[in-house]
């Protein structure tokens, strides 16, 4: 028997291919708690897809020592003056870090520590982002085309969405005269 095999997944450009790739989408109706302008939100259809994620989970969730891989595709658009963005989360095991690598489009990686200090890094093709443990992370598409980035994170990291769903980030990213700007979340 040959000991040389095909890889279990491949990435052609920005497309992840393979039988074990799992895909989810997040629609506006799943994200009503994250956007502030509820009037603008209700002008848009709840089944509008805001982002999609293709992931490869080669080991069981919560396995210590494993790694997961995924690609996120955020569509361009705004709700009021807020860019289309991900839910955002802390890792449930707080000290677990993550890498992001941008493939196409323009965006912003919004980061917040446990003291609720918020800052952001610009994302563009080739940008590499190290997200330390204990830091919540959310991405927003600030351009006119799809923002695609890959991520690598520990298989035992888990996701805490509830903290962000309840309290948000301390700053929100809005378009001010077409410029992405972080302002206080009041
Ligand atoms: C997982 C990693 C990404 C996000 C994806 C969607 O730890 O950070 O794969 O899951 O970008 O964001 P969210 O906040 O909806 O999980
Ligand atoms: Zn994460």
Domains and CATH numbers, the chain: 15-184 (2.60.120.10)
Q: Give me the residues paired with residue 120 across strands.
A: 110
Token pair recorded at residue 113: 């520590």
pLDDT tens track for 145-178: 999 999 999 999 999 999 999 999 999 999 999 9
Q: What is the pLDDT of residue 1?
A: 65
- Cβ-based neighbours of 94, under 8 Å, separated by 6 or more: 114, 133, 134
In this prediction, residues 101-128 reach a mean pLDDT of 98
Per-residue burial over 49-83, b if 16 or more Cβ lie within 10 Å, else e, is ebbbbbbbbeeeeeeeeeebbbbbbbbbebbeebb
DSSP string covering 18-77: STTEEEEEEEGGG-TTT-S-HHHHHHS-TT-EEEEEEEE--S-TT-TT-EEEEEEEEPP-
Collect residues with CB below 5 Å from ion ligand 2: 98
Q: What is the mean pLDDT of residues 77-99?
A: 98
Cβ of 34 less than 6 Å from ligand 1? no
Which residue is it, tokens 């003291």?
Answer: 115
Q: What pLDDT sits at residue 52?
A: 98
Nearest-CA residue for ligand 1 atom 7 is 153
Cα(159) to centroid of ligand 2, in Å? 7
Q: Whose atoms come closest to the Cα of 140: which ligand? A: 1
- How far is the centre of ligand 1, averaged over its atoms, from the C-alpha of 34 (Å)? 14
Q: Which of 57, 72, 75, 112 to mutate to test the pocket of ligand 1 (most atoms within 8 A of CB)?
A: 72
């Amino acid at each position: 028997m040959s000991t040389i095999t095909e890889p279990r997944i491949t990435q052609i450009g920005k497309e992840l291919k393979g039988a074990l790739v799992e895909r989810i989408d997040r629609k506006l109706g799943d994200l009503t708690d994250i956007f502030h302008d509820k009037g603008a939100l209700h002008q848009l259809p709840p089944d509008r897809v805001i982002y999609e994620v293709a992931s490869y989970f080669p080991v069981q969730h919560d396995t210590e020592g494993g790694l997961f891989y995924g690609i996120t595709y955020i569509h361009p658009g705004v709700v009021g003056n807020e860019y289309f963005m991900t839910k955002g989360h802390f890792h449930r095991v707080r000290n677990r870090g993550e890498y992001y690598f941008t493939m196409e489009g323009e965006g912003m990686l919004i980061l917040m520590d446990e003291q609720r200090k918020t800052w952001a890094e610009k994302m563009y093709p080739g940008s590499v982002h190290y997200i330390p443990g204990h830091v919540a992370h959310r991405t927003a598409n600030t351009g006119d085309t799809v923002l695609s980035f890959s991520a690598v994170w520990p298989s035992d990291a888990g996701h805490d969405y509830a903290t962000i769903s309840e309290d948000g980030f301390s700053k929100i990213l809005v378009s001010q005269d077409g410029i992405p700007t972080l302002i206080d979340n009041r």
